């Protein structure tokens, strides 16, 4: 049975996540406190089901342990997807993965975590990868939302000029 990232978050302690951030994600010690603030903040947020499942993959790098890539895959019927997601699914197929770094943190917490991901990574690695990706753009959700709004505005303006 799949669990959500929010449920997984409640099962892992900060020291395990911190170790995974440093060892798996390459976070420098000076940046750990910013990641810890994100972790502590999301502990208090409710999960919002988003219709997506978490996809984590190790990118092999010439035989060395590669970086970890985090994305999301739509899990509901294509007809229920938002317009831009639906079009990508129709054009590229149901297995299309989407960047999730500009989504609200509540949507992140509602991501389903499948057994394949749970089998390939420890719970701490999963949470660490998500905390790292959630804060990739900024350590404040408001800043991330401003960027997402700006990108949407620019895209709308570009679409209207065509």
DSSP letters spanning 40-96: HHHTTSPP---SEEEEEEEEEETTEEEEEEEEEEE-S-GGGS-HHHHHHHHHH-TT-
For the chain, how many residues are written? 162
Alpha-carbon span 134 to 123, nearest angstrom: 16
Phi and psi for 117 in degrees, rounded to 5? -70, -45
Phi and psi for 52 in degrees, rounded to 5? -115, 155
Q: Please state, for a pLDDT cut of 70, what percent of the chain lies above it.
A: 84
pLDDT tens figures, 84-103: 889 899 999 889 999 888 78
Q: How many domains does the chain have?
A: 1
Give pLDDT, residue 153. Answer: 73
Q: Please state, for a pLDDT cut of 90, what percent of the chain lies above it.
A: 51
Q: With a cut of 50, say whether residue 73 has pLDDT above it.
A: yes
Q: With a cut of 50, say whether residue 8 has pLDDT above it.
A: yes
Nearby residues of 8 by Cβ (< 8 Å), 6 or more positions away: 113, 123, 126, 127
Both structure tokens of 73? 């895959």
Structural domain of residue 82, as residue ranges? 3-161
Neighbours of 94 (CB within 10 A): 11
| Residue 56 · residue 129 · CB < 8 Å | yes
Give the pTM.
Answer: 0.82
Give pLDDT, residue 160. Answer: 67
């Amino acid at each position: 049975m799949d669990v959500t990232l929010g449920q997984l978050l409640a099962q892992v302690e900060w020291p395990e996540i911190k170790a995974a951030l440093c060892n798996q994600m390459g976070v420098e010690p000076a940046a750990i406190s910013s990641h810890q603030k994100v972790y502590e903040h999301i502990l208090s947020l409710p999960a919002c089901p988003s219709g997506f499942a978490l996809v984590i993959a190790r990118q092999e790098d010439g035989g060395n342990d590669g970086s970890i890539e985090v994305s999301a895959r739509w899990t509901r019927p294509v007809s229920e997807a938002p317009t831009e997601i639906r079009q990508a699914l129709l054009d590229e197929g149901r297995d299309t993965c989407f960047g999730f770094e500009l989504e609200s943190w509540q949507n992140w917490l509602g991501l389903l975590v499948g057994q394949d991901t749970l089998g390939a990574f420890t719970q701490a690695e999963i949470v660490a990868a998500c905390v790292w990706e959630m804060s990739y753009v900024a350590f404040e959700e408001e800043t991330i939302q401003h960027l997402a709004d700006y990108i949407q505005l620019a895209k709308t303006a570009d679409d209207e000029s065509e």
